Chain A
Amino acid sequence: MKLARRDRDLLAYLAPLCIGLFLLYIGPAFASLALAFTHYDALSAPRWAGLENFQALPTDAVFLKAIGNTFWFLGIALPLKLILACALAMWLHRPRPFTGPTRAAIFLPSVIPDPAFALVVLWIFNPLYGPLNLILQQLGIQAPMWLADPVAAPWVFVILSLFQIGELFVVLMVARMEISGELYENAQLSGAGMWRQFVHVTLPILAPWLFMLGARDMMMSFQSTFSFAQIMTQGDPYYATMFIGLMIYEEAFDRFRFGLGSAMMVVTFLMCVLVLGAVRLGMKRWRYQVEI
């Protein structure tokens, strides 16, 4: 393929970006995949392992627990986050009194660095002295031990993730602002109420956004659950908060089994792709129904 002269000149200025994308994204993504088929302890050269790492996974009880926890978390937190962000965006997309500060307040927890947020969550949910349980106590509610309780602990992660919806909220709000008002006028003329307007006008337009944001949030949540679990619980109690990020981190950087860690990553990623594929298929069917 021959490039125009202008393109060639421009590509020279894109060299740093190309190097960066290759060194930091494309290269590592493939290296990760390759690493999964090796035994590697970062000291001696990697040895070819074939499928051994993958074969070891189904018998690794902690890994199974971590995968279960991770997808439990995604299954609960992701829909809740999207619904909450979407509801707030629909509510606050028009300028009204006090809307500006409300938008800012919703975004604010998302900019607090993870370690600071982790520590304040530990404090708020502290079973003995934390403000939350003291408030619940005054209201006469029997409060759980939160992070010390294997049933309640994962819910703390769900609750804290609901505070970090800034990006979802803003993107959905802007997407809603850009929908032309005429569409709603037409819907009103044909007698559609608020809910029907949302389902038949707003939702079909927002659906691709929700899918993109959901997919991105899924990928990001592997990182954030790692930071919070690593600081707050180290996977305790009884592996109730052992998420896949922490599992891979411990496997690689504590036990120096980089190949096994990569294999876990590859399996997680493939499962995500399957889930996203299924959601995408479901969306197509739903679209078809709405349009009829």
Chain B
Amino acid sequence: MKSSLSVLLRVCVVAVFLSPLYWIVVAALRKPGLPPPRTVEWLPAEWSVENFARVFTLVPMETYLRNSLLVGAVAVPLTLVFASISGYAIARLSPHLRAFFVVALILAQMLPLISLWLPRFFLVRYLGLLDQLAALGLPVLAGTLPLYVLLYYRSCLSIPAEVYEAAELDGGSFLRSWLRVALPLVKPTTMAVTAFSFLFYWGDYIWPLLLMKSQSNYTATVGVAQLLQLDKSNWPLMMSASLMLALPSILVFMMVQRTFLKGNLLSGTAGW
């Protein structure tokens, strides 16, 4: 009895947390041109997928989606390279230097990003990258987020020294042991960082808003927010655009959630 009650409670919690997604889908599939609903429509009064096509006629959504994909496709692999090399190198430093980097990364992760808006804007302007998609990939240098470097650091720390020292005794370099020894051992971390850095770049709203000026360089997040100014009360249209923006993020999350939510990946991170 008690266990069925707790399953019921779980179902309720699931329903509450999925409700935003549910209402996006219901509104997005509502036929365009109908008068707004007067009573709750648990399912659309009349179905249609026309709204999705209409988004593309109202704004150059294909350009926005392509820009977002491009940023993700370039920035995510670079993030993996920079974050894993950095994390692996930090794990092999002597203890006092290691502590220095870990503290620096934690502090950087804690900085409120609003304090970085203005100087970063001027930095991008100084580099001549204002209104260029390349500017959005700049964070890869620091592993996109200090957190990703810390994740790699934590998982590389558990690699025994003999393993990589043996690899380098045979005449291999640091980069060789990184590629051949470290990376294969930290695959779960790579999977998580891939997924989360994609979510970061795909969902990033503030940097494209601050740095991109011409419409041809907008990303999908900015494009979707822009719909509100173009057609303020066309809810089916805005919900279908939101769904297009949210679906890739949801799919990527669904692919990694099983491993990630079991806690295996993050275990051992308690000692930061």
| Partner-B contacts on A (CB < 8 A) | 3-4, 6-7, 9-11, 13-14, 16-17, 19-21, 23-29, 31-32, 35, 42, 88, 96-109, 111-124, 126, 128-129, 131, 134-135, 138, 163, 170-171, 173-175, 177-178, 215-216, 218-220, 222-223, 226-227, 230-231, 244-245, 248-249, 252-253, 258, 261-262, 265-266, 268-269, 272
Please state if A24 and B141 are interface contacts (CB–CB under 8 Å): yes
Could you show 7 A-B contacts with beta carbons less than 8 Å apart?
A7-B97, A28-B119, A112-B246, A124-B19, A134-B37, A134-B40, A272-B112
Q: Which residues in B have their C-beta under 8 angstroms from that of A216?
A: 109-110
A223 touches B114 (CB 8 A): yes
Kindly report which residue of chain B lies nearest to residue A32, judged by CB atoms.
B115
Interface assignment of B242: CB less than 8 Å from any CB of chain A: yes
CA distance A103 to B260 in the complex (A): 10
A104 touches B254 (CB 8 A): yes
- Indicate whether B76 reaches chain A with its CB closer than 8 angstroms: no
A98 near B7 (CB under 8 angstroms)? yes
**A13 near B250 (CB under 8 angstroms)?**
no
Partner of B120, one of A24, A138, A265: A24
Cβ of B138 within 8 Å of any chain A Cβ, yes or no, is yes
Known: A108-B18, A222-B113. 10 other contacts (CB 8 A): A24-B120, A99-B10, A100-B261, A105-B18, A115-B225, A119-B242, A121-B20, A170-B261, A219-B111, A244-B114
For the complex, give the distance between the alpha carbons of A27 and B126 in Å. 14
Among B49-57, B183-191, B197-205, which stretch is in contact with chain A? B197-205
Asked if B116 is an interface residue, CB under 8 A from chain A, the answer is yes
| Cβ-closest chain B residue relative to A231 | B225
Inter-chain contacts of A26 with B (CB < 8 A) = 104, 108
Taking a contact as CB atoms under 8 Å apart, the answer to whether B118 and A112 are in contact is: no
A106 to B140, CA, bound (A): 29
| Of the residues A3, A114, A231, A253, contact of B203 by C-beta under 8 Å | A114
- Min CB gap A88→B, angstroms: 7
In the complex, chain B residues whose CB is within 8 Å of the CB of A231: 225, 228
Q: State A170–B175 Cα separation when bound (angstroms).
A: 33
Complex interface: chain B residues within 8 A of A175 (CB):
270
Q: B-side interface residues toward A, CB under 8 Å?
A: 3, 6-7, 10-11, 13-14, 17-21, 23-24, 26-27, 36-41, 82, 85-86, 89-90, 92-94, 97, 101, 104-105, 108-120, 122-123, 138-143, 146, 149, 174-175, 199, 202-203, 205-206, 209-210, 220-222, 224-225, 227-228, 235, 238-239, 241-243, 245-246, 249-250, 252-254, 257-258, 260-261, 263, 266-267, 269-270
CB-defined contacts of B3 to chain A, threshold 8 Å: 96-97
Shortest Cβ distance from residue B236 to the other chain A in the assembled complex, whole angstroms:
10
Given A105-B18, A227-B205, A248-B114, does the pair A115, B266 have CB atoms closer than 8 Å?
no
- Chain A at the B interface: mostly helix, strand, loop or mixed? helix
Q: Are B118 and A252 in contact (CB under 8 A)?
A: yes
Least CB distance, A136 to chain B, in whole angstroms: 10
* Cβ contacts under 8 Å, B21 to chain A: 108-109, 112
Query: CB-CB < 8 A to A230: which residues of B?
Result: 209
* CB neighbours of B138 from chain A (8 A): 24
In angstroms, how far is the closest chain B Cβ from the Cβ of A285? 24
Chain A residue numbers with a CB within 8 Å of B104 are: 21, 26
Q: Which residues of B contact A248 (CB under 8 A)?
A: 114, 117
- Asked if residues A111 and B141 are in contact (CB atoms below 8 Å), the reply is no
Contact B203 A32 (CB under 8 A): no
A24–B121 alpha-carbon span in the complex (Å): 10
Q: Which one of B13, B24, B139, B199 lies within 8 Å of A120 (CB-CB)? A: B24
B257 touches A107 (CB 8 A): yes
Given contacts A20-B142, A120-B24, contact A98 B250 (CB under 8 A): no
Q: Of the candidates A103, A111, A122, A220, which one forms a contact with B250 in the assembled complex, judged by CB atoms under 8 Å apart?
A: A111
> In the complex, which residue of chain A has the Cβ closest to the Cβ of B39?
A134
A249 touches B117 (CB 8 A): yes
Are A24 and B13 within 8 A (Cβ)? no
Considering the complex, give the chain B residue whose CB is closest to the CB of A104: B257
Contacts of B11 in A (CB 8 A): 98
Q: Using Cβ atoms and an 8 Å threshold, which residues of chain A touch B37?
A: 129, 134
- In the complex, the answer to whether B119 meets A35 with C-beta atoms within 8 Å is yes
Q: Which among B39, B246, B249 is the interface contact of A138 at CB below 8 angstroms?
A: B39
Query: Across the interface, which residues of A come within 8 angstroms of B253, CB to CB?
Result: 104, 107-108, 111
Report the bound CA distance from A252 to B260 in whole Å.
Answer: 39
- Chain B residues with Cβ under 8 A from A262's Cβ? 118
Chain B minimum-CB-distance residue to A3: B97
Verify B116–A112 contact, CB threshold 8 A: no
Cβ-defined contact, B206 with A223, below 8 A: yes
Cβ-defined contact, A269 with B20, below 8 A: no
Question: In the complex, what residue of chain B is closest to A23 when comparing beta carbons?
Answer: B123
| Docked-complex contact A20 and B245, CB < 8 angstroms | no
Cβ-defined contact, B20 with A28, below 8 A = no
Chain B's closest residue to A88 (CB) is B13
Q: Which single residue of chain B is at the shortest CB-CB distance from A272?
A: B112
Nearest CB in chain A: distance from B145 CB, A: 10
How near does chain A come to B42, taking the closest CB pair, in angstroms? 9
